[in-house]
Amino acid sequence: MAFLRTVSRCNSLVPRKVTSPSATGNGCLTYSKSEQFLRQYGIYAAGNRGPLPSALLAALNHRLAVEGYSIDGARRWRSTTVAAASPVATDARQRQQQDNNPSTPQRDPLDVSFNDPHAAFKSKTTFELIRAYFVYVLCSSEFLVENNMKLMKVAQTILGEKLFTLAMKYTFYGHFVAGEDQFKIVPTLERLFIYLMKQTFYGHFVAGEDRIRIVPTLERLRSFGVKPILDYSVEEDLSQEEAEKREVEASVSSAGTNLSEDSADSLPQYSVDKTFADRRYKVQSARTYFYLNEATCERNMETFLECLDAVKGATFGTGITAIKLTALGRPQLLLQVSEVIMQARRYMMDLAGSTGNILTHHKTIQDLERYLGNVADKAEVKEFLKKVTSDKDGILHLFPWTGIINEDCQLSETFRVPDPVTGQMRRLISKIPPKEEEMFRNMIRRLNTIVKTAQDLDVRIMIDAEQTYFQPAISRITLEMMRKYNTEKAIVFNTYQCYLKDTYKEVCTDLEQAKRQNFYFGAKLVRGAYIEQERARAAALGYEDPTNPSFEATTEMYHKTLTECLRRIRILKDANMDPKKIAIMVASHNEDTVRFAIKKMEEIGIHPEDKVICFGQLLGMCDYITFPLGQAGYSAYKYIPYGPVNEVLPYLSRRAQENKGVLQKIKKEKRLLLTEITKRLAKGQLFYKPKGKYVPI
């Protein structure tokens, strides 16, 4: 269905009946390769006749050049109106296999000090280096960074939309954003961009506004050993007042905010507070979705599906799409499910007689029956015990959590437990009206649609972490999606924020569940985006601060958690089991953490070719880490945002703020940029044109 959606969208843009210039034996490209190329980018469809647009022609020509074909004379694609020949699927498959599995892929030695400017920037034109240096100089100005959003809006008003768009492409937008849609990330250039580049002497520049023109950036990344995590980065520019209004309205149930009288006390962490209703407060590096209505959530789902189409079309099955669960449903429901999960943990701690989680204590259904004692003979308690489940080792699961991702799940009736003294059933969740139950089912339906599409397209999904008052629900839903879809490979990844005190325990628990329930475990490890907000909220609402006390403690948590994951991968290898049962992304701009990961991989005996560890950084940041890793044969990713210039201003503002907070990193990147620019000018490489022959692992 996702492929058909893409075809339908593209058919409205481009007449599509295409063949190669010739199918003779004179060395020209055969039709099967042309069809294979079009299919890779999700835009082949039989039907109309007509010329190809110049942007697509540029992509085709670039693709031929990357694959080693001459683009002179008859081999160059032209806008020709001809009838399509019959496709040859076998040749297409063989060509893709050759592209994915070359006999001698190019590999460079890795400088783990990350001080090699040539390795860092060989994928960039000299103009792009100069632009990058200029951007980092601007990010070093406190006044400009603090007032960047105001200044951009003033510039937009004064210059007008066209001049402002052009100016942004040559500065912040051009540096931090690959393009505006899936086809603008590869080396094809939109018409205006091509025209502007012809008027300058820089040669090749990757940027654009729509899906067709982002493809060139992805191709260039790929040719230098780097893969994409694609994200449509359009954000609403809401005022604080509007954001607070939306969040409060969407976080309170029409049935009231408190649990019923026969239930446990509610936890203050999992309730809305107007002071912190604007979830952008003290958050620089993460996008925030504010619930408006169900129709908006449907549009968000469609956007994520389009990202999946884009990733599949341009990454040869190696790409990833990032999504946020708060984009798909009402936040009140995540608050309530998070609270019920924590209430269930409290109940189990009472059963176990100590702190911790149930997997640590290995409690069984028989232990639960003994805990309930004299009330176990009551009819309601007996009915409850019938529904309690356990895994293959007999470990107790208080609730059938698999039901939470069923589209007929009834939350209000699911989360009830017997009181061990009276035997009366009590709710762990407040009563949810039928309309809100339907909203929850809609959210699960949207997520199931996205993940099922990702599975069909062989694209991975990374579900982003969010605030701690949402995270128990997000993690549980994500884990159940892993159980459902990660049966043969890791399709769904959860995100763990290492600034939290419980991260190591949570990862160990989830690893244990994956092992016991036999599904593939995927995790993205990050330091985290909400630490200042979390600390302020905990202090204001009077609950325990969930964060680590210092940067050093967060680093220790990150390294400890990563080491545990690597240790378990090694155990799988030693047992001749599939090491890909555990897949980890080290998503960090901290070069010490990246060095630590590489060192631990060597110590434990995990190789890049095992394809179980990958690294990720944002586009436009820490190129001196990402590109040397990819060129040395490690699995390296860039987080690739795209979208129209005027609609990604909040994203650009956050990138400026984030770079201001890492002045040491900026200082190093500026030094390396200046070194490489100087070398190129000294060698007369002002018109340097990147050409990579690397193949991502």
Sort strands 492-497 and 521-526 into parallel, antiparallel or unpaired: parallel
> According to the model, what pLDDT value does residue 231 have?
80
Residues 6+ apart with CB under 8 A from 610: 569, 573, 579, 580
Instruction: Kindly state the helix (H) or strand (E) to which residue 503 belongs, with its residue range.
Output: helix 503-517
Q: Mind listing the pLDDT tens digit for each residue in 181-207? A: 544 444 433 344 334 333 332 222 333
Judged against a pLDDT cut of 80, whether residue 50 lies above it is answered with no
Q: What is the mean pLDDT of residues 320-324?
A: 92
> According to the model, what pLDDT value does residue 380 have?
83
Measured over the CA atoms of residue 79, residue 82, residue 84 and residue 89, the dihedral's sign is: negative
Comparing CA positions, the residue from 292, 173, 165 lying closest to residue 238 is 292
- Residues 671, 672, 675, 677, Cα dihedral to 10°: -110
Q: What is the mean pLDDT of residues 331-359?
A: 78
Q: Mind listing the pLDDT tens digit for each residue in 648-686? A: 666 666 666 665 556 567 889 999 999 999 999 999 999
Q: Mind listing the pLDDT tens digit for each residue in 275-300? A: 898 888 888 777 788 999 999 999 99
The listed range with the strongest mean pLDDT (39-43, 124-128, 254-258, 447-451) is: 447-451
> According to the model, what pLDDT value does residue 2 have?
46
Comparing CA positions, the residue from 105, 422, 459 lying closest to residue 316 is 459
Distance CA 206, CA 194 (A): 10
Judged against a pLDDT cut of 70, whether residue 152 lies above it is answered with no
With H, G, I as helix, E, B as strand and everything else as coil, classify residue 88: coil
Q: What is the mean pLDDT of residues 152-166?
A: 59
Distance CA 124, CA 685 (A): 12
Give the pLDDT band (50/70/90) at residue 614.
very high
Residues 6+ apart with CB under 8 A from 269: 342, 468, 469, 538, 541, 543
Report the percent of the chain where pLDDT is more than 70: 67
> According to the model, what pLDDT value does residue 204 have?
29
For the stretch 591-597, contacts whose Cβ atoms lie closer than 8 Å and that sit 24 or more positions apart, written own/partner, are 591/114, 591/622, 591/625, 592/555, 593/555, 593/558, 593/559, 594/114, 594/625, 594/629, 595/112, 596/559, 596/562, 597/562
Q: What is the mean pLDDT of residues 81-106?
A: 45
Q: Which residue do the tokens 């630490």 mark?
A: 531
DSSP code of residue 108: -
C-alpha 580, offset from chain centre: 19
Q: Which residue do the tokens 């409690």 mark?
A: 363
Share the mean pLDDT of the chain.
76
Distance CA 263, CA 427 (A): 5
With H, G, I as helix, E, B as strand and everything else as coil, classify residue 488: coil
CB 647 within 8 A of CB 238: no
Residues 6+ apart with CB under 8 A from 354: 361
Q: What is the mean pLDDT of residues 343-372?
A: 73
> According to the model, what pLDDT value does residue 34 have?
45
Q: How far is CA 616 from CA 230, 362, 528, 594, 625, in A?
A: 12, 36, 14, 10, 9
The DSSP result for 145-170, as a single string, is: HHTHHHHHHHHHHHHHHHHHHHHHHT
The listed range with the strongest mean pLDDT (277-281, 510-514, 583-587) is: 583-587
Q: At what angle do helices 649-660 and 148-169 cross, to 10 degrees?
A: 110
Weakest mean pLDDT among 442-451, 643-652, 663-672 = 643-652
Ordered structural domains, the chain, with CATH: 214-329+433-662 (3.20.20.220)
Distance CA 193, CA 174 (A): 11
